[in-house]
Structures are given as C-alpha cells and as structure tokens.
C-alpha cells in the first residue's frame, strides 16, 4: 500500500494548515474506519489536532485544523458565522451563463434516495455561492467558486442545479473521468495501452483559505497550487478543447 502523506503548509501552537490530497477523508468513515482520514495519517506527529471543516474525500487542497480546544472553538465560530473566505477551483461541464454568477438557492442535505443535497426552498437552509469563469472551452469551463455559507456539498449541488456539474462528480453529475479522446479531434489511444484519464476524480480543489488567527487575531491567508491532474487537464483543454 502506498504510504500517504499530508504536506504541512503552516504550523504553530494553535493551528495546522495542510494540503489535503484527493482520496483522503476529512473524518473517519462511519462504516469503514480503516479508510485513511486526516488524523490517521498525521496522528504520529500531530496527536491533538481537531478537524474544523471538511473537504470531500476526492476534493484536494488547503485545510485548517485546530491544535487545541480553544482554537477549535474559535475556528468553528469563524466558519459558522461566515467570516472565513474559501476559494475553490473547479472544472465543470458546460459554461456559466455570464462571467460571474451568484447562486442563492436553499439546500437540504440527504434530500433524496441517493442521500444528495437538494434544492429545497421550503425545508432547505440558505446557501449562497459566487462563481466566476476563468476560462471557457468547447464543452467545459474552468471556474472559481466562493461559498458564503457552508452547506454539505454546497458547490456541487449549486453547480448541478444550473446544469453545470463538476467533471467526474459521481453523485451530482455523470461521474465520467475527463479523457483526452473526448475533445481532441482525431485522437486515437495507443493499441498497446489503455487510455488513462486526465483527471479521474472530482475536479474540485480548495485553492485559498483566509481567516483570523485564534490567538493573535492576525489575518492569515494560505494558497494552494493546482495539483498535477488539474494542470494536465487544463493544459490539454487549452490546446485541444476550444
């Protein structure tokens, strides 16, 4: 089994900022506790860390964890009152109707047989996400997403609601990986080797996180470069997907 590692971006007595790779859970799985999760990977060095917010298993990027109970309480309050700025990058099917779009649709978690978050104006809770187009291709787009609220699967559910699901989203989209043959004209995979996806997991990355430090009150911002599979996908879409 390949050894998992979580790059440490910043650490002090109060907070720990990490780069979460795709494929690692934020918290233990309730049915299979043996699946790798953040604390199981870093517990040997950071034994007292507490998870403050979650990224979906296949979402990569910046996360902040608390190093003690007081910091955990402070950071939880920041997330709950919406004063943490979170910026995500995504590759989606289709295009936003305008370069910048704000989606204000109430969401209800576990709202259907597939346990998805669904739009529900009567029983849902308020949810607002700001989207902006970075680049447009023929059938895809690269966008940023800035959620004001923190509902379960908020970005995924809002994009699905406007018929622009995230690439390789098994729950809210088709789940199909992004293949070069899908958009490169006359591309034929080698007969000797099966074509590999450019990105074969949810195309969502936590790019930036801004919050105030629990002790010093200092404004802190951490940014994350796009991972290799994202960069490869965008490079090929830029060349052949227009």
- Predicted confidence (pLDDT) per residue in 161-209, tens digit: 999 999 999 999 999 999 999 999 888 777 677 889 999 999 999 999 9
Closest C-alpha to 237, from 135, 95, 134, 137: 137
| Active site residue ranges | 56
- Predicted confidence (pLDDT) per residue in 101-126, tens digit: 999 999 999 989 999 999 999 999 99
pTM: 0.94
Under the banding of pLDDT at 50, 70 and 90, the label for residue 35 is: confident
Residue ranges of alpha helices (H) inside the chain are 38-42, 69-80, 154-161, 228-240
The β-bridge partners of 187 are none
Q: What local confidence, expressed as pLDDT, does residue 139 receive?
A: 96
Under the banding of pLDDT at 50, 70 and 90, the label for residue 1 is: very low
Task: Report how far residue 142's alpha carbon sits from residue 136's, in angstroms, rounded to the nearest whole number.
Answer: 6
> What are the domain boundaries of the chain?
8-240
CATH 3.30.2350.10 correct for 8-240: yes
- β-bridge pairing 60-66 and 85-93: unpaired
Task: Report how far residue 37's alpha carbon sits from residue 141's, in angstroms, rounded to the nearest whole number.
Answer: 30
- Going along the chain, which residue ranges are E strands? 8-11, 15-20, 50-51, 60-66, 85-93, 100-104, 107-108, 118-119, 128-136, 140-147, 204-212, 219-223
């Amino acid at each position: 089994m390949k050894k998992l590692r979580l790059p440490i971006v910043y650490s002090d007595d109060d907070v720990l900022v990490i780069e979460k790779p795709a494929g690692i859970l934020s918290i233990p799985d309730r049915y299979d506790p043996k699946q790798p999760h953040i604390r199981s990977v870093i517990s040997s060095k950071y034994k007292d860390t507490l998870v403050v917010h979650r990224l979906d298993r296949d979402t990569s990027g910046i996360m902040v964890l608390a190093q003690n109970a007081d910091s955990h309480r402070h950071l939880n309050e920041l997330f709950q009152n919406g004063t943490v700025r979170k910026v995500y990058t995504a590759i989606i099917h289709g295009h936003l109707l305008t370069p910048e779009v704000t989606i204000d649709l109430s969401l209800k978690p576990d709202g259907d047989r597939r346990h998805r978050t669904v739009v529900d104006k009567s029983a849902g809770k308020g949810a607002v996400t700001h989207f902006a187009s970075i680049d447009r291709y023929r059938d895809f787009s690269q966008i940023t997403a800035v959620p004001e609220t923190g509902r379960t699967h908020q970005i995924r559910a809002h994009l699905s609601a406007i018929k622009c699901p995230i690439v390789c989203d098994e729950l809210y989209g088709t789940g199909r990986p992004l293949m070069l043959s899908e958009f490169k004209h006359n591309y034929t995979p080698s007969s000797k080797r099966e074509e590999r996806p450019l990105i074969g997991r949810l195309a969502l990355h936590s790019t930036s996180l801004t919050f105030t430090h629990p002790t010093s009150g200092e404004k802190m911002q951490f940014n994350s470069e796009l991972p290799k599979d994202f960069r490869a996908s965008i490079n090929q879409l830029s060349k052949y997907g227009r």
